[in-house]
């Protein structure tokens, strides 16, 4: 029997399917669907159609459990949906890729279990935002560093920190491309202000320009922010850098050196940015001392 069609053969014999959440994803409790109606049976079979069994095995427990019973009430199969895209069944040696995972999510939604579709859409939007943030971050990368983009992005896949060798190479290239320290700092601020812009919970690769800024003398940082070429995007990088967690060896002392007009300017940027975490941090670092 063809593995890709084996589940469909079982579903063809099914009389009832009982569906439940594995880990609270399918909020709304269990659902039980009568498959004696040929139209209902055909809809589920189409939604659970398998495209291929590529040999991989998801490491999580899955999201939704389908227990399939025949007319006598005997259980024919237990199938678990993973991430709205794959199915796991003990008759297969690996997980199976659905022909169209959204069909099964829509089936669940239409039968009183909207949670999986909602979670899938939220994950899709997060991935979409992440892709856009990465694209913006790469676009802001200073000239001359493009050849190192793959190594830097790789940090987010491995979860590792940038090596001293990578940071040294980046520093050397920046000095070569931007001999003027003010231009160099402006390039780094622009880069660090791009991407997600968050002060925590951001992809590892976004921390690289922050590491480089942490090595910049505060005098050079202040000179860059005072330069007529400094714009909102540079303020974004400065706020992210100065209010982040231990971003400079002498962070408290360095922030204390900010001229009052610059402090007010950066605080105003943080208040406009729409990031509540960044605003709270900025109020603490740049705001007036509390009584």
| 222-265 confidence digits (pLDDT tens) | 999 999 999 999 999 999 999 999 999 999 999 999 999 999 99
Return the pLDDT at 30.
84
Alpha helices in 159-231 (DSSP H): 164-177, 181-192, 208-213, 218-226
Query: Considering the chain, what is the average pLDDT of its residues?
Result: 93
**CA 38 → CA 12, 18, 44, 174, distances in Å?**
9, 17, 10, 67
Planar angle of CA 162, 164, 169, nearest 5 degrees: 90
Dihedrals φ, ψ of 170, to 5°?
-60, -45
* Percent of residues, the chain, with pLDDT higher than 70: 97
Return the pLDDT at 26.
44
Q: How confident is the model at residue 291 (pLDDT cuts 50, 70, 90)?
A: low
Mean pLDDT over residues 74-79, rounded? 96
Least confident of 21-25, 147-151, 170-174: 21-25
Q: How confident is the model at residue 4 (pLDDT cuts 50, 70, 90)?
A: confident
> In this predicted model, what pLDDT tens digit does every residue of 53-65 receive, in sequence order?
998 888 888 999 9
Cα distance between residue 235 and residue 267, in whole Å: 10
Rg (CA), the chain: 27
Tell me: pLDDT of 280 over 90: yes
With contact defined as beta carbons under 8 Å apart, do 161 and 208 qualify? no
Return the pLDDT at 239.
98
> In this predicted model, what pLDDT tens digit does every residue of 34-47 receive, in sequence order?
999 999 999 999 99
**CA 50 → CA 7, 57, 103, 113, distances in Å?**
8, 15, 12, 21
The backbone region for 246, taken as left when phi is positive above 0, alpha when psi lies in -120 to 50, beta otherwise, is: left
Mean pLDDT over residues 169-183, rounded? 97
Return the pLDDT at 27.
46
Residues 6+ apart with CB under 8 A from 5: 50
Mean pLDDT over residues 93-97, rounded? 93
> In this predicted model, what pLDDT tens digit does every residue of 109-132 receive, in sequence order?
999 999 999 999 999 999 999 999
Return the pLDDT at 24.
59
User: Residue 153: exposed, middle, or buried by beta-carbon count in 10 A (0-12, 13-18, 19+)?
Assistant: middle
Cα distance between residue 102 and residue 164, in whole Å: 45
Dihedrals φ, ψ of 82, to 5°?
-120, 120
Return the pLDDT at 96.
94
Q: For 37-64, b where at least 16 C-beta lie within 10 A, e where not — what string?
A: eeeebebbbebbbbeebeeeeeeeebbb
Tell me: pLDDT of 103 over 80: yes
Alpha helices in the chain (DSSP H): 3-12, 38-47, 101-110, 115-139, 149-158, 164-177, 181-192, 208-213, 218-226, 232-243, 251-256, 260-272, 276-286
Instruction: Give the CA-trace dihedral at 169, 174, 177, 182, to 10 degrees.
Output: -170
Q: How confident is the model at residue 29 (pLDDT cuts 50, 70, 90)?
A: low
Residues 6+ apart with CB under 8 A from 146: none
Dihedrals φ, ψ of 273, to 5°?
-75, -20
With contact defined as beta carbons under 8 Å apart, do 178 and 190 qualify? no
With contact defined as beta carbons under 8 Å apart, do 82 and 95 qualify? yes
């Amino acid at each position: 029997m063809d593995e890709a069609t084996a589940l469909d053969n079982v579903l063809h014999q099914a009389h009832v399917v009982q569906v439940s959440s594995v880990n609270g994803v399918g909020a709304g409790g269990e659902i039980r669907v009568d498959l004696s109606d040929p139209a209902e049976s055909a809809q589920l079979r189409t939604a659970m159609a398998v495209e291929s069994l590529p040999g991989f095995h998801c490491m999580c427990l899955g999201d939704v459990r389908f227990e399939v019973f025949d007319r006598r009430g005997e259980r024919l199969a237990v199938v678990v949906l993973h991430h709205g895209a794959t199915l796991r069944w003990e008759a297969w040696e690996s997980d199976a890729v659905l022909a169209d995972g959204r069909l099964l999510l829509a089936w669940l939604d239409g039968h009183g279990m909207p949670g999986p579709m909602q979670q899938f859409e939220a994950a899709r939007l997060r991935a979409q935002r992440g892709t856009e943030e990465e694209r913006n971050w790469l676009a802001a990368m200073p000239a001359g560093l493009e050849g190192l983009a793959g190594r830097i992005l790789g940090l987010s896949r491995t979860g590792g920190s940038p090596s001293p060798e990578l940071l040294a190479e980046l520093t050397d290239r920046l000095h070569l491309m931007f001999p003027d320290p003010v231009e160099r700092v402006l390039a780094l601020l622009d880069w660090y202000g791009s991407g997600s812009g968050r002060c925590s919970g951001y992809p590892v690769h976004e921390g690289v320009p922050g590491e480089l800024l942490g090595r910049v003398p505060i005098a050079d940082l202040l000179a860059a922010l005072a330069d007529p070429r400094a714009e909102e995007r540079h303020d974004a990088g400065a706020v992210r850098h100065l209010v982040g967690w231990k971003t400079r060896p002498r962070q408290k002392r360095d922030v204390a050196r900010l001229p009052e007009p610059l402090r007010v300017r950066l605080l105003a940027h943080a208040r406009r940015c729409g990031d509540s975490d960044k605003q709270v941090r900025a109020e603490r670092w740049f705001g007036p001392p509390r009584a």
